[in-house]
Amino acid sequence: MPKVGIIYNDVKPIASRVALELKEKFTAAGWDVCITTGVGGMLGYSNPESPVCHTPIEGLTPPGFDSETEFAVVLGGDGTVLAAARQVAPCGIPMLTVNTGHMGFLTETYLNQVPQAIEQVMAGKYEIEERVMLTIKVFREDAVIWEALCLNEMVLHREPLTSMCHFEIAVGCHAPVDIAADGVIISTPTGSTAYSLSAGGPVVTPGVPVLQLVPICPHSLASRALVFPDSEPVNIYPVNTPRLVMVVDGNGGCYVLPNDRVQVTRSQYSARFIRLQPPEFFRILREKLGWGLPHIAKPTSVELP
């Protein structure tokens, strides 16, 4: 019996309704269905009473989801997709992402196209696009106190975000650099269109094997975005006396103390997206962010005498 997973945003009534409808449809077709919400992929936020909300990377996989699951239907916006990626990436489960949110930059199809999309996937007529993920770890006295999978970006900043932070950052075996800024972002190509873009970083197409380091409002004309191979690990040492806050994929994180070390590496796991047609990144940039749209009238061609 084939197995399918459904992950949905239970805050959105329409996502909850469609999830139940899909469960009935798959069950009637003879599929084993595992259904859960995207809440299980949330990292949780730290607070002064509980500075570390730590769940091991493999511990976020929902019950019933495993390597035998042929694919998972994800119903929600980009936040739900980010959470679902953390839930299913350790099992290598491909995701068919359905937009029930607003931007939907990471989604493949829309609610009104779900019946046709499901039939196409059940018939095996699709491609899989793999996106790089990061493993984020916080070390305290050489012990891992927090870890998470990351699809978009890791952000380290002060609490609250009102004053300057100082960081010592080592990329691979290169000499450490000192950065003074409101914070720093380590971004994947997928995350290059998210917070990194707003902070002045470049857009990177998904297939390029690089990461980028983007200072947030740096206090130097020399501190600008840096692109480097994703095979290079990154170690960040906060120099500030007050604690810092780390946020992964805009979702949650932990407090980082002055003697802690944040390590960022390319993960052994990747996010696997089902594509119903060959991926066309520039089309998505144009539709979602308006990149490449003409903003002035093109000159008309004039025939020379």
272 and 130 in contact (C-beta within 8 Å)?
yes
Is 142 known to sit in a ligand binding site?
no
Measured on CA atoms in the order 43, 49, 51, 52, is the torsion positive or negative? negative
Is 182 known to sit in a ligand binding site?
yes
Is 83 known to sit in a ligand binding site?
no
179 phi, psi to nearest 5 deg: -130, 130
Buried b (16+ CB within 10 A) or exposed e, 235-267: bbbbeeeebbbbbbbebebbbbbeebbbbbbbb
Is 59 known to sit in a ligand binding site?
no
Strands 32-37 vs 69-76: parallel, antiparallel or unpaired: unpaired
Q: What is the CA radius of gyration of the chain?
A: 21
Is 170 known to sit in a ligand binding site?
no
Is 85 known to sit in a ligand binding site?
no
Is 213 known to sit in a ligand binding site?
no
Is 251 known to sit in a ligand binding site?
yes
Query: Does residue 10 carry a catalytic annotation?
Result: no
Q: What is the residue-wise DSSP string for 72-116?
A: EEEEE-HHHHHHHHHHHGGGT--EEEEE-SSS-TT--EEGGGHHH
Is 152 known to sit in a ligand binding site?
yes
Is 188 known to sit in a ligand binding site?
no
Is 195 known to sit in a ligand binding site?
yes
Angle value at C-alpha 274, between 84 and 116, nearest 5 degrees: 110
Structure tokens, 30: 């003879």
Query: Annotated catalytic residue: which of 10, 78, 230, 249?
Result: 78
Is 194 known to sit in a ligand binding site?
yes
Q: Which amino acid is it at 61? A: T
* List of residues 6+ apart from 104 with CB closer than 8 A: 77, 78, 110, 288
Binding site, annotated residues = 78-79, 152-153, 182, 193-198, 251
| Positions marked catalytic | 78
Binding-site residue ranges for NAD(+): 78-79, 152-153, 182, 193-198, 251
